[in-house]
Structure 1
Amino acid sequence: MLAIINGTILTMAGAPIPRGTVLADNGKILQVGQDIKVPVQAEIIDATGKIVMPGLIDAHTHVGIMEEIYRIEGDDTNETTDPVTPHLRAIDAVNPQDLGFQDALAGGVTTVVTGPGSANIVGGQMVAMKTHGTVVDEMIIRFPAGLKCALGENPKRVYGSKKMPATRMASAALLRETLAAAQIYLAKQEQAGTEGAKAPDRDLKLEAVGRVLKGEIPLRVHAHRADDIMTAVRIAREFNVDLVIEHCTEGHLIAPWLAKAGVKAVVGPIISNRAKVELMNRSLETAMALFRHGVPFALMTDHPVVPVNYLSLSAALAVKGGLPEEEALKALTINAAKLLGLANRIGSLEPGKDADIIVLDRPLLDPRHRVEKVIVGGCQVIN
């Protein structure tokens, strides 16, 4: 049993609790509040003068898949032999020994979403996982956490000289073609179950896409430019699927349209230069524009594009762009958890949720802050 006492608790589910207590046992939070009786057997952390809050969530990374200190040896980000690979599973590439996980913990990040890169129109299945553990299987929170797709410059650059897609039209066509094939596959399966027809042979590609069509997971589409974002919105509407826009760099230019379409976004990386043409209109005000128009969003580092331990700094820059501080904190905690469909487990300090907790010497958005303690699933991993 663990008791964190006397700290200012940011539950992310209500008002801050001064001189509060968080009581946890067996990896779960038992109580949060003031005047909580602490059992004598509890291990006590005195957080007097400190900030206590939920572990941070980085909603889009390549931690464990794109290992920083390697080239070919540790880079399993993009399967550049085929533009449509929905059957790839991030969990088969994640190396828990990647130094990125240590960086995540040092930055207070206790959950990441990691997955394939953006070379392919359909890249594969993403995973939401804790940043502490020995093997992937014990770190998984949700798998699959979404089907990674990509529009814009990247697929064109990788495949255009060899095969489709060489144009944005071809990129959209390949995505539609894949979704349509999965519709037919699901229809044949259903027909076989009700009419005695022969079931189709198992197809791992179409099976993965079928999870999107059945509403089990979202279509998570890499799109920077406004026109690419709206292409993703158009296709999602055609196939009636849940859509998350990854990066959403020009989202501030079309925020009312995104709100009307009911899509979600994972914004970032915020600490970035104009490395390619589609980043021309990058802005610190993107998150604020989405917030103003009611578009649900989380923030990302895209690690190792930006080191995962700079997630809080990314949020601080979004505040510089006009985002209210409370909303910036939510984008790293409870709102990120909601976007991922994991708010029942992570994102806030409430009874019954995972005991993923960080202790800071000062507010998170102050760039001088230090993460002094990190608890993942009730286990102190930085103390």
Structure 2
Amino acid sequence: MLLIKNGTILTMTGDPIGNGQILVDEGKILSIGKGISIPEHCATIDAGGGFIMPGMIDAHCHVGMWEDGLGFEGADGNEGTDPVTPQLRAIDAINPRDRSFAEAYENGVTCICTGPGSSNVIGGQFTTIKTKGMRIDKMILQERAAMKVAFGENPKTRYSAKQQIPSTRMATAALLREYLFKTQNYLDHKENNSGFDLKLESLIPVVKGELNVKAHVHRADDIFTAIRIAKEFGLKMTLEHCTEGHLIADELAGEGFSAIIGPFIGPRGKVELKELTFDTPAILHEAGVKIALMTDHPVVPVHYLPFCAALAVRAGLDEETALRAITINPAEILGISERVGSLEVDKDADIVVFDKHPLDVQARTTWVLIDGDVVFKRG
């Protein structure tokens, strides 16, 4: 057993617990609060008056898909030879030895949803994993977390250069509809169908509403196109990036889709980003949209996730919501909140100790636990 004591506990589901204690056993949180019963011979971590919070979650990144510092050899995120590739799985490309994983957990990001990029209309399957490990198969929380689809500038840029479909937004939407219709037909006649189509097999959970769609959307019109298609086919969907979401916040609030917002840090490097602002999270939250924040690593390095939250606070988002946007909100959006995202009894002991408030840009992690194991200790 392991006891963490002498810190302010930010549970993400209740009020902060001053001078709180957390008891960990066999990778799970056994008890949490003040004055809890402590067994004899229990190992102890002293938080030193700092802050104790759940491990942070990046709900949209490409860690391990574009390996740090390797160029082409480490770039496995976009299969730019075919605009429709739902059969691709992130777990077959992720390299856990990419040093970005260590930078993630050393800075308190203990869980990520990572997967293909946005060159293709249908890019493939994201996966949700813990950030510590040597073998991807042993790091998985959700092997198939979501199906990536992309609207707007990226697919048309990739394939217009090849002089093939899609070179317009119309063609992007049409290709997506075509494969959704094909999948529905394939599923309806599967018992009598002697052929096998891996692309359509991979899309069956999508059309059945069992697998979430991660819709890459920046511009307001692309956001509405994604929503239109989701409604046509009854898809579960999240709005990824949602850069112009603040311009249509009231409309989005009425639709019921969650938004995973970002990245914020960097230039407006393409037309779709001309309305990029740190105000988006606060505006969407105030309108009633459930939000999470992303780094889109390697666009913003994954370990800057708390910094992204701090910048959102500076732009008007309240601190509690900002912390929830990198912990319990992404856990709920991804469907993993029964295990991670908050400090509660029976959840995974993914725990981070900071020497200052986590949204203080000078704050540093002093201890990091994943599944109850100490994976980082400063000093």
Corresponding residue for residue 134 of structure 1: 134
What TM-score does the superposition give when structure 1 sets the normalisation length? 0.97
Q: Identify the match of residue 267 of structure 2 among 262, 269, 273.
A: 273
Counterpart residue number, 2:297: 303
| 1:95 counterpart = 2:89 | no
Give the deviation of 1:84 after TM superposition. 0.2
Q: Aligned residue for 2:317?
A: 323
Question: Do residues 157 (structure 1) and 157 (structure 2) align?
Answer: yes
1:245 is matched with which residue: 232, 239, 252?
A: 239
Secondary structure at the aligned position of 2:254 is classed as helix
For the residues of structure 2 that align with 1:41 and 1:200, how far apart are their CA atoms? Answer: 63
> Secondary structure of 1:381's partner?
strand
Amino acid at match of 1:79: E
Q: Shift of residue 129 of structure 1?
A: 0.4
Q: Is residue 203 of structure 1 aligned with residue 191 of structure 2? A: no
**8 Å contact kept, 1:185–1:200:** no
Cα distance change of structure 1 residues 200 and 296 upon mapping to structure 2, 3 Å threshold: farther
Equivalent of 1:223 in 213, 217, 220: 217
| Counterpart-to-counterpart distance in 2, 1:220 and 1:367 | 30
Distance in 2 separating the partners of 1:202 and 1:352: 42
CA distance in 2, matches of 1:24, 1:268: 34
- Name 2:11's counterpart in structure 1: 11
CA distance in 2: counterparts of 1:257 and 1:236, whole angstroms? 15
| Corresponding position of 2:375 | 381
| Contact map agreement 1:188 1:200 (CA 8 A) in 2 | no
Deviations 1:336-382 (A, max 9, x none): 10000011000000011000000000101110100111100001010
Q: What is aligned with 1:170? A: 171
Secondary structure class of the residue paired with 2:323 = helix
Cα RMSD between the aligned structures? 0.9
1:53-132 → structure 2 map (5 Å cutoff) = 53-132=53-132
Shift in Å at residue 124 of structure 1? Answer: 0.1
DSSP-derived class of the 2:82 partner:
coil
Contact kept in structure 1, 2:355 and 2:365, CA below 8 Å:
yes
Deviation at 1:199, TM superposition (A): 3.7
Amino acid in structure 2 at the alignment position of 1:184: N
2:227 equivalent in structure 1: 233
Provide the rounded CA distance (Å) in 2 between the counterparts of 1:212 and 1:181: 12
Alignment of 1:339-358 (within 5 A): 339-358=333-352
Residue 8 of structure 1 deviates from its aligned partner by: 0.8
Whether the 8 Å contact between 1:50 and 1:361 is mirrored in structure 2 is yes
Contact 1:113 1:129 in 2 (8 A): yes
- Residue of structure 2 equivalent to 1:183: 184
| 2:288 equivalent among 294, 297, 307 | 294
Q: Tell me the CA shift for residue 255 of structure 1.
A: 1.2
* Contact 1:123/1:147, CA 8 A, preserved across alignment: yes
Q: How far apart, in 2, do the equivalents of 1:254 and 1:42 lie?
A: 53
- Kindly state the Cα deviation for residue 48 of structure 1 after the two structures are TM-superposed: 3.0
* Aligned structure 1 segments of 4 or more residues deviating by more than 4 angstroms: none
Deviation of the 1:200 alpha carbon: 4.4
Report the Cα offset of residue 40 of structure 1: 1.6
What per-residue deviation string (whole Å, max 9, x for no partner) do you get for residues 29-67 of structure 1?
111111112112321001131100000000111101101
Q: Name the count of aligned residue pairs.
A: 376
Q: How far is the alpha carbon of 1:249 from its aligned partner?
A: 0.4
- Counterpart mapping for 1:23-34 below 5 A: 23-34=23-34
Distance in 2 (CA, whole Å) between partners of 1:85 and 1:336 is 25
- Name the counterpart of 1:264: 258
Percent sequence identity over aligned pairs: 53
Report how far residue 72 of structure 1 moved: 1.4
Distance 2:234 2:217 in 1: 19
How far off its partner does 1:202 sit?
2.8
Q: Distance in 2 between matches of 1:105 and 1:72?
A: 25
Distance (Å, rounded) in 2 between the aligned partners of 1:265 and 1:178: 24
Return the letter of the residue paired with 1:44: T
Instruction: Identify the residue that residue 195 of structure 1 maps to in structure 2.
Output: none
Task: Give the residue type in structure 1 aligned to 2:289.
Answer: V
